Structure 1
């Protein structure tokens, strides 16, 4: 049995981790709704914790923004590892793309977080390196298995993910999941054998396009109005 002091510290570590997760979750929600121009006091109130609890973990807003990016990168790396371990090479490619793009689509504040963060920060840089290694392993295995075009470069996959992420940012508020329609179209084009997948998501209507356009303009205005 451990000492009394060890037993007393253990619940504190659990509480600290629970509070960290609550703070990060609150920050992600506020960044998505209001942009990055929120105070740590706002985050504390939204998370239901004391202001001092937030400041003990994050000295300022930039540290909190970096913390949100670190959390996101951990999630995406986990998606990429699962895709790498998928026994079917093609399914692994689809799983990797869905994991990366889906996580961006689900969090409207991530674009601003990614832009604002210092990507040379050691933990962020290490996670990005890990993500790249996992993603390239998925890609290389699919090429070796003959399910991807042999003239495809790893950088092409980066461009495809970037395009789908852009589609998600524009359309997610109008019809969530619309980006999957374009994932089906794009991934068909990089397979070795000609394939025409059934499009499982309908194209946007004119009214939905107008909603997407309106919300995109509003998001741009909000981003430019964010104060340092």
Structure 2
């Protein structure tokens, strides 16, 4: 029995470095995925990610069987971080300023992340992680809008359903050719946000369906 115990200890000790190596590889793959998808968009391949990570393609496929699985993990993390921004905004006293600040921070992140913008535009990456984070972002935005409405800072008729189209309009501005295309969007975000503010004598907004 003594030999069995003596033989088991090196195996157990060897298992820990293997687990650490596996976790390090997983983090390398995720970080490489974030960088590659940000630079090249969702057309990037697992081979591209493996090359960027400095790992064999087989190592990547053992962790993530296809690009969809890796993209779900990458954008689950990305959207979790954006949800954390929205949650932080809820702590501010001025709800409209908090909403505006959150939108600016989230869109600034998207301005330098082609994959995130494609995800916003097409919504083609699903999975439990991204879906949960999207729901959390929506709930935080609903809370901020409700508070801004209570504080009298929000234009009548504005709802949480307006946020995604606003983000889409800014995404379209980001795609325009310009000397500094990644910064031009800030001008138009200010204009759009000003349209959300409560002002005296504003005309009623048309309904979301376009009918009176």
Tell me, in whole angstroms, the C-alpha distance in 2 between the residues paired with 1:136 and 1:38. Answer: 34
Unaligned segments of structure 2, at least 5 residues: 1-8, 201-212
Unaligned segments of structure 1, at least 5 residues: 195-228
| Alignment deviations for residues 179-216 of structure 1 (CA, whole Å, 9 cap, x no partner) | 1101111111221247xxxxxxxxxxxxxxxxxxxxxx
Counterparts in 2 of 1:163 and 1:39: CA distance versus 1, 3 Å: closer
Match of 2:94 in 1: 88
Match of 2:124 in 1: 117
Please list, as runs of the form range in 1=range in 2, the aligned pairs for 1:32-181 lying within 5 A after superposition.
32-113=38-119, 115=122, 117-119=124-126, 121-170=127-176, 174-181=180-187
Tell me, in whole angstroms, the C-alpha distance in 1 between the residues paired with 2:112 and 2:17. Answer: 33
Tell me, in whole angstroms, the C-alpha distance in 2 between the residues paired with 1:29 and 1:153. Answer: 34
Tell me, in whole angstroms, the C-alpha distance in 1 between the residues paired with 2:88 and 2:177. Answer: 27
Tell me, in whole angstroms, the C-alpha distance in 1 between the residues paired with 2:155 and 2:31. Answer: 40
Tell me, in whole angstroms, the C-alpha distance in 1 between the residues paired with 2:92 and 2:99. Answer: 9
Tell me, in whole angstroms, the C-alpha distance in 1 between the residues paired with 2:22 and 2:90. Answer: 32
Counterparts in 2 of 1:187 and 1:38: CA distance versus 1, 3 Å: closer
The count of residues paired between Structure 1 and Structure 2 equals: 190
**TM-score relative to the length of structure 2:** 0.74
Larger Rg: 2
Counterparts in 2 of 1:172 and 1:108: CA distance versus 1, 3 Å: farther
Tell me, in whole angstroms, the C-alpha distance in 1 between the residues paired with 2:132 and 2:106. Answer: 17
| Alignment deviations for residues 121-165 of structure 1 (CA, whole Å, 9 cap, x no partner) | 222222221111111111111111111113322212332222112
